[in-house]
Amino acid sequence: MIGSDVIRRFAGQGMEPTGFPPTGTEPNMTVTIDNTIDPNGITAPEPSGSPLDAEPPTVARVEDGSRIYGSGGTEVVALDHVDVEFASGEFVAIMGPSGAGKSTLLHCLAGLDRLSSGRVFIGDRDITAAGEKELTLLRRDHLGFVFQSYNLVPTLTAAENITLPLDLAGRKPDREWLDEVIGIVGLGDRLTHRPDELSGGQQQRVAVARAMVGRPALILADEPTGNLDSRSGGEILRFLRLGVGDLGLTVVMVTHDPVAAACSDRVVFVTDGRITDELAEPDVDGVIDHMRLLGR
């Protein structure tokens, strides 16, 4: 499945406006793994020590967002008048039962799917009606992605996978940043190995580094620990946490796991397409209690 087509998609090509918004099929998530150093704007801000910086800027928001699939008797309301925003430097977990609309929310934030009504902003930019080209560049330059299934290119080494988004965009890696990112995921001598020579946990570390390498404004992670044992999953969470704390990145992560959610700064609970609750500074017991309260 992964081959030259994916590589073309990495380069931001091969995405036609036809078939968008998707009609009855999942968006092709392979298009989303490209991200590069930002040339001009909505990127992860440098940490600023000014006491005048009160509120961190919003990196993404959905205003009164609804997404309805199908029509008539087969209508599915995946998002139902959602209002949510994510501040720069936040690590937010999205939780909710299967089918609640979590992935739809991520897809709409990434411009991979379109709201039926409402608006989506990345930074100050209203992307609700943006064209395909603009969305492709937005994903490439401002967003990072981590998937449950790693989505690495099997013929490339770990190091090549990490820098592939930059290479294909014709950008030179910022050496210092790259070293920091590689330091965080701690792959050491594994960098010269190909994905089939790496464990699942190691592959996901490569994927996390790839998502961070372009210093994106926002990293979207859909069940990044879903395929991993608890130890490897814990490592991935630690790297995401370090990315937020040490590198100033912003992460929005869908998860089923209360332990994973407890690593975040804030948990947003989604039920039947609606945001039904939020929990700041979560701990595992608090998350489990909230899930119980919500009847899950």
Ligand X SMILES: Nc1ncnc2c1ncn2[C@@H]1O[C@H](COP(=O)(O)OP(=O)(O)O)[C@@H](O)[C@H]1O
Q: Within positions 220 to 249, which residues make up the interface with ligand X, using CB under 6 A? A: none
> Quick check: 74 binds ligand X (CB under 6 A)?
no
Q: CA–CA separation, 99 vs 18, rounded Å? A: 26
> Quick check: 69 binds ligand X (CB under 6 A)?
yes
Dihedral sign of CA atoms 109, 110, 116, 121 in order: positive
> Quick check: 103 binds Mg ion (CB under 5 A)?
yes
Q: Which is nearer to ligand X, 79 or 169 (CB)?
A: 79
CB of 128 to ligand X, least distance (A): 18
Q: Which long-range contacts (CB under 8 A, 24 or more apart) does 234-241 make?
A: 234/259, 235/201, 235/205, 236/201, 236/204, 236/205, 236/208, 237/263, 238/263, 239/184, 239/185, 239/205, 239/208, 240/91, 240/146, 240/208, 241/91
Q: CA–CA separation, 126 vs 149, rounded Å? A: 30
CB of 77 to ligand X, least distance (A): 8
CB of 12 to ligand X, least distance (A): 23
Binding region for ligand X (CB under 6 A) out of 3-11, 91-99, 188-196, 287-295: 91-99
| Residue type at position 62 | V
Say which residue the tokens 């020590």 belong to.
49
Judged by beta carbon distances under 5 to 8 A according to partner kind, the member of Mg ion, ligand X, none in contact with residue 26 is ligand X
CB of 27 to ligand X, least distance (A): 7
| Binding characters for ligand X, 20-59, by CB under 6 A (x = yes) | --x-xxx---------------------------------
> Quick check: 76 binds ligand X (CB under 6 A)?
yes
CB of 52 to Mg ion, least distance (A): 40
Binding region for Mg ion (CB under 5 A) out of 2-10, 25-33, 53-61, 101-109: 101-109
> Quick check: 78 binds ligand X (CB under 6 A)?
yes
Nearest residue to 233 via CA among 252, 258, 210: 258
Q: In what order do the strands lie in the sheet with 251-254?
A: 143-146, 218-222, 251-254, 91-95, 266-271, 274-280
Q: Which is nearer to ligand X, 158 or 252 (CB)?
A: 252
Which residues are bridge partners to 221 per DSSP? Answer: 146, 253
Q: CA–CA separation, 62 vs 50, rounded Å? A: 28
Positions that interact with Mg ion (CB under 5 A): 103
Positions that interact with ligand X (CB under 6 A): 22, 24-26, 69-70, 76, 78, 96, 98-104
